[in-house]
């Protein structure tokens, strides 16, 4: 794998990015993924390229196209913008598209056995690989193949797939027990983000908190 993520120090006043900076600094070892992850959603983010331009430099953007007919055009445009802004660029659940546009890696769907992440870690060892955390049960695969696990929903969220929030305590227990950097997803906003301090979170992930 490539080196850990370079020093993150967001100097703006936005609470989300400021908390991400504090979480980054609290880690005993830097992560490969940025502590601030933005995920696209075609129903909520109309212009994904504009969203990328609004993100802080060196943040991570996960492009989830959900089968869009314009996915290649959007992904190419996002690759250009993220490259110019020093942002990490991952494709959601589409390794082939990631290869075609030269993305930095892939974000995989929930998979307790981690078959997809393990396979593509072997094929593309330098890729950044993240995955959505399973809702219940135990992981049967090797979590060490991941650079990040996105656990949701930590706080109440309006997302249809969010489910009941697990709360900061349960999230913190996962962060302590699982051998992988864990990112808080779901209901993270300027009000809830400060509650993640001292939780063991590797960073913050979300859809609507920036664009």
Sign of the alpha-carbon torsion through 59, 40, 129, 84: negative
In tens digits, what is the pLDDT along the chain, a chain of 211 residues?
456 666 666 766 689 999 999 999 999 888 999 999 999 998 888 899 999 999 999 999 999 999 999 999 999 999 999 999 999 999 999 999 999 999 999 999 999 999 999 999 999 999 999 999 999 999 999 999 999 999 999 999 877 666 799 999 999 999 999 999 999 999 999 999 999 999 999 999 999 776 5
Give the pLDDT confidence score for residue 193 in this predicted structure.
96
* pLDDT for the residue numbered 30: 83
Omega cis (within 30) before 64? no
Output the pLDDT for position 43. Answer: 86
Q: Is 162 exposed, middle or buried (0-12, 13-18, 19+ CB in 10 A)?
A: middle
Token pair belonging to 1: 């794998």
Q: Identify which of 160, 106, 104 has the alpha carbon closest to the alpha carbon of residue 131.
A: 106
The pLDDT score that the predictor gives to residue 163 is 79
Q: Which of 113, 155, 106, 157 is nearest to 134 (CA)?
A: 113
CA distance linking residue 205 with residue 28, whole number of Å: 20
Given a contact cutoff of 8 angstroms between Cβ atoms, the answer to whether 119 and 106 are in contact is no
Q: For position 157, what pLDDT does the model report?
A: 86
Domains of the chain: 15-206 (3.20.20.70)
**Cα-based distances in Å from 191 to 97, 152, 196:** 36, 17, 11
Using a 10 angstrom Cβ sphere, with 0-12 exposed, 13-18 middle and 19 or more buried, the burial of residue 69 is exposed
The single residue listed with the structure tokens 């490259």 is 83
pTM of structure: 0.94
Query: Which two structure tokens, joined as six digits, stand for 169?
Result: 């305590």
Task: Judge whether 1 and 126 are in contact, CB under 8 Å.
Answer: yes
């Amino acid at each position: 794998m490539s080196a850990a993520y370079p020093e993150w120090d967001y100097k703006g006043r936005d609470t989300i990015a400021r908390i991400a900076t504090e979480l980054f600094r609290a880690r005993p070892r830097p992560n490969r993924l940025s502590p601030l992850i933005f995920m696209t959603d075609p129903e909520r983010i109309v212009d994904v390229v504009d969203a990328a331009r609004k993100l802080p430099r060196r943040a991570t953007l996960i492009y989830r196209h959900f089968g869009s007919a314009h996915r290649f055009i959007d992904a190419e445009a996002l690759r250009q913008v993220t490259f110019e802004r020093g942002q990490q660029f991952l494709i959601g659940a589409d390794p082939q598209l990631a290869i075609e546009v030269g993305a930095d890696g892939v974000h995989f769907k929930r998979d307790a056995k981690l078959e997809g992440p393990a396979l593509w870690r072997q094929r593309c060892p330098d890729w950044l690989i993240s995955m959505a955390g399973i809702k219940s049960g135990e992981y049967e695969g090797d979590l060490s193949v991941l650079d990040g696990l996105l656990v949701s929903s930590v706080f109440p969220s309006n997302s249809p797939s969010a489910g009941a929030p697990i709360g900061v305590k349960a999230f913190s227990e996962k962060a302590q027990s699982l051998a992988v950097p864990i990112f808080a997803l779901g209901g993270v906003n300027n009000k809830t983000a400060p509650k993640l301090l001292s939780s063991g979170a590797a960073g913050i992930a979300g859809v609507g908190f920036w664009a």
